[in-house]
Amino acid sequence: MKLLDCADIGKRPITEFDYLGEIRIPPSDADESTWADYVFNRNGAPGVLRERWYHRPTGRWFIFERDTLTDQIIGQVDASEVRYEEPHYEIPA
């Protein structure tokens, strides 16, 4: 069982976490293709991703940088680094 080493809660087994996937930020006022790209497409190739994990026992979200080829955790990312403003979307006239 893999361990996720977290600065806040220590090393915990990966089975305690729910996986959300790569951090994706919804674009504001996106045209149709940009929006569809956001909703469906993914950076699926092997590489280092910033991913969100929800730790069920503590009810907290964490962000780790992970190499999806080797499964190595490279580091933890502070949520403030990937914070975004609430988007907006006006219906095209």
Partner 1 sequence: MKFRLDPQPLEWIDRSESVSFRFEGQTFSGFSGDSLTSALLAGGQKLLGRSFKYHRPRSVLSMANHDVNALFQSSDATNIRGDVTPVSEGVDLRACNVNGTLANDKDRYIGLLSRFLPVGFYYKTFHKPKKFFPYWERLIREKAGLGEINTSWSATRQPKRYGFSEVLVIGAGPSGMQAALSAAEAGADVVLVDENPRIGGSLDYQLANEEAAAKVRADLKSRISNNAKIRLMEAHYAAGWYTDHYVPLVGPEGITKMRAEQVIMATGVMEQPSVFRNNDLPGVMLASAAQRLIARYAVKPGQRAVVLCGNDEGYRAALDLIAAGVEVAAVVDLERVGKRGEWAKQVQAQGITVLDHSAIYEAQGKGALSAVVVAPFNGKGCDAGKSHVIPCDLLLMSVGWAPAAQMLYQAGAKLGYASQAEQILPRELPQGIHACGRLNGAFTLEQRLADGSRAAREALAQLRGEAVVSELTVHRDTQSHSHPWPIIGHPKGKNFLDIDEDLQLKDLINAAKEGFDNIELMKRFSTNGMGPSQGKHSNMNGIRVLASVTGKTIDETGSTTARPMFHPVPVSALAGRRFRPERLTPMHQWHLKHGARMMEAGQWQRPEFYAPSTAAGAVTAAQREQSIVQEVQAVRSGLGLIDVSTLGKIEVMGPDAGRLLDVVYTMKMSTIKIGMTRYALAVDDSGVIIDDGIVGRIAEDRFYVTATTSHAAAAFRTLSLKIQELGLNVRLANLTGSLAAMNLAGPASRKVLSALTDVDLSEESFPYLGMREGTLLGYPVRLIRVGFVGELGYEIHLPANAALEVWEKLMDVGSAHAIRPFGVEAQRVLRLEKGHIIVGQDTDGLTNPFEANMSWAVPLKSKPWFTGKPSLARLKNSCERRLIGFRLPQGFSPKSSSEMPKECHLIIQDGEISGRITSIAYSPSLGRIIGLAMVDLPLADANVPMQVKVDSGAFVAIEPCATPFYDADGARQTADLTEVA
Partner 2 sequence: MPWRLLKFGLKSTHDEPRFFPEAKPLKSHYDVVIIGGGGHGMACAYYLAKEHGITNVAVLEQGYIGGGNTGRNTTIVRSNYLTPEGVKFYDTSLKLFEDLADDFDLNIFYSTRGHFTLAHTDSALRTMRWRAEVNKHQGIESEVVGREEIAKAVPYMDMDCAGHAPVMGALYHAPGSVARHDAVAWGYARGAYNRGVEIHQKTRVTAIRTQGDKVVGVDTDRGQISCNKVISMVAGSTPRITSMLGLRTPIEIFPLQACVSEPVKPFMDTIVVSGSLHVYVSQSSRGEMVMGASVDPSVLHSTRSSFDFVEGLTDQMLDLFPFMSRMKVMRQWAGMSDITPDFAPIMGKTPIDGFYLDAGWGTWGFKATPVSGKTMAWTVANDKTHELIEPFRLSRFADFDLVGEKGAASVGH
Taking CB within 5 to 8 Å according to partner kind, which of partner 1, partner 2, none is near residue 54? Answer: partner 1
Pick from 9, 12, 16, 30 the residue near partner 1 by CB under 8 A: 30
What is d(CA 82, CA 24) in angstroms, rounded to the nearest whole number? Answer: 9
What is d(CA 50, CA 43) in angstroms, rounded to the nearest whole number? Answer: 11
CA atoms within 13 A of residue 45's CA, in its CB half-sphere: 0
Nearest distance, CB of residue 47 and partner 1, angstroms: 19
Taking CB within 5 to 8 Å according to partner kind, which of partner 1, partner 2, none is near residue 90? Answer: partner 1
Nearer to partner 2 by Cβ, of 53 and 85: the residue is 53
Cβ contact 66:75 at 8 Å = no
